[in-house]
Structure 1
Amino acid sequence: MANLANTVDMTDAIDATGTADMADAAGLTNPANVAVRNLTIRLGANTVIENLDLDVRAGEFVVLLGPSGCGKSTLLHSIAGLIDVSDGSIEIAGEDMTWADPKDRRIALVFQSYALYPTMSVERNLSFALRINGTPKAEIARRVARAAEMLQLGPLLKRKPAQLSGGQRQRVAIGRAIVREADVFLFDEPLSNLDAKLRTELRRELKQLHQRLGATMIYVTHDQVEAMTLATRMAVMRGGVIQQFGTPAEVYARPDNLFVATFLGSPAMNLLKGTMETRDGAVYFCTPQWRLEVSAYPFKHAPAQALPCVLGVRAEDVKVGAGLSERAKVSLVEPMGNHRVIWLDYHGVQVASIDQTKTPVALADTVAFSFDSEQVSLFDEAGGERL
Structure 2
Amino acid sequence: MANVANTMNVADAAGAPGATAGERAGADAAALAQPANVAIRNLTIRLGSNTVIENLDLDVLAGEFVVLLGPSGCGKSTLLHSIAGLIDVSDGSIEIAGEDMTWADPKDRRIALVFQSYALYPTMSVERNLSFALRINGTPKAEIARRVARASEMLQLGPLLKRKPAQLSGGQRQRVAIGRAIVREADVFLFDEPLSNLDAKLRTELRRELKQLHQRLGATMIYVTHDQVEAMTLATRMAVMRGGVIQQFGTPAEVYARPNNLFVATFLGSPAMNLLKGTLELRDGAVQFCTAHWRLDVSSYAFSEAPVQGQTCVLGVRAEDVHVAEAGSERAKVSLVEPMGNHRVIWLDYHGEQIASIDQTKAPLAEGDTVAFSLDAAHVSLFDEAGGARL
Same fold flag (TM > 0.5): yes
Q: Kindly provide the CA deviation profile for residues 334-375 of structure 1, in whole angstroms up to 9, marking residues without a partner as x.
A: 000010000000111100000000111110100000000000
Hey, what's the Cα distance between the residues in 2 that align with 1:104 and 1:4?
24
Cα 1:291–1:22 change in 2 (3 A) is farther
Give the Cα separation in 2 of the matches to 1:276 and 1:7. Answer: 54
- Mapped to 1, the partners of 2:98 and 2:267 lie a distance apart of 33
> 2: CA distance between counterparts of 1:207 and 1:302?
42
Query: Which residue does 1:277 correspond to in 2?
Result: 281
Partner of residue 102 from structure 1, selected from 97, 103, 106 = 106
- Residue 323 of structure 1: CA displacement? 2.2
SS of the residue aligned with 2:71? coil
**Higher deviation after alignment, 7-16 or 188-197:** 7-16
- How far apart, CA to CA, are the structure 2 residues paired with 1:178 and 1:20? 19
The equivalences for 1:81-100 within 5 A come to: 81-100=85-104
Q: Secondary structure at the match of 2:270?
A: coil
2:352 is matched with 348
Partner of 2:15: 15
Question: What is the alpha-carbon distance in structure 2 between the residues aligned to residue 40 and residue 215 of structure 1?
Answer: 27
2: CA distance, partners of 1:242 / 1:128: 36
Mapped to 2, the partners of 1:131 and 1:99 lie a distance apart of 26
Matched, 1:198 2:202: yes
* 1:76-135: CA deviation from partner (whole Å, max 9, x where unpaired): 000000000000000000000000000000000000001100000000000000000000
Indicate the residue corresponding to 2:21 in structure 1.
none
Q: Aligned partner of 1:135: which letter?
A: T
Q: Secondary structure of the residue that 2:379 maps to in structure 1?
A: coil
Aligned pair partner of 2:238 in 234, 240, 252: 234
1:76 aligns with 2:80: yes
Structure 1 residue 19: Cα displacement: 8.1
Q: Is residue 23–residue 30 contact of structure 1 (8 Å, CA) maintained in 2?
A: no
AA aligned opposite 1:10: V
Q: 1:14 is aligned with what amino acid?
A: A
1:333 aligns with 2:337: yes
SS of residue paired to 2:335: strand
Answer whether contact 1:19 1:182 (CA < 8 A) is retained: no
- Of the structure 1 ranges 193-202 and 318-327, higher mean CA displacement relative to structure 2 is found in 318-327
Q: Secondary structure of 1:374's match? A: helix
| CA shift in 2, pair 1:317/1:209, >3 Å | same
- RMSD of the TM alignment (CA)? 1.5
CA distance in structure 2 between the partners assigned to 1:87 and 1:78 by the alignment: 11
Q: Tell me which of 36, 39, 43 is aligned to 2:43.
A: 39
Query: Cα distance 1:279–1:115, how it changes in 2: closer, same or farther (>3 A)?
Result: same
Normalising by structure 2, what TM-score? Answer: 0.96
Aligned length: 384
How many Å apart are 1:276 and its aligned residue? Answer: 1.3
Maintained 8 Å contact 2:313/2:383: yes
One-letter amino acid of the counterpart of residue 11, structure 2: T
Match of 1:176 among 158, 173, 180: 180
Q: What is the SS of the residue equivalent to 1:62?
A: strand
Structure 2 residues not aligned, in runs of 5+: 18-23
Equivalent position of 2:52 in the other structure? 48
Measure the CA separation in 1 of the matches of 2:29 and 2:292.
65
Distance 1:147 1:281, change over 3 A: same
1:124-273 → structure 2 map (5 Å cutoff): 124-273=128-277
Task: Specify whether residues 163 and 369 from structure 1 end up closer, same or farther in structure 2 by C-alpha distance, changes over 3 A only.
Answer: same
- Does the aligned pair in 1 maintain the 2:25–2:137 contact within 8 Å? no
Q: 1: CA distance between counterparts of 2:29 and 2:371?
A: 62
1:312 matches 2:316: yes
Q: Secondary structure at the match of 1:327?
A: strand
Aligned residue for 1:191, secondary structure, equals coil
CA distance in 2, matches of 1:252, 1:261: 7
- Tell me the residue number matched to 1:376: 380
How does the TM-score come out when normalised to structure 1? 0.97
* CA shift for structure 1 position 16: 3.1
Contiguous gaps of at least 5 residues in structure 1: none
Deviation at 1:301, TM superposition (A): 1.2
* SS of residue paired to 1:202: helix
| 1:285–1:291 CA contact under 8 A, matched in 2 | yes
Greater than 2 Å deviation, 4+ residue runs? 2-5, 15-25
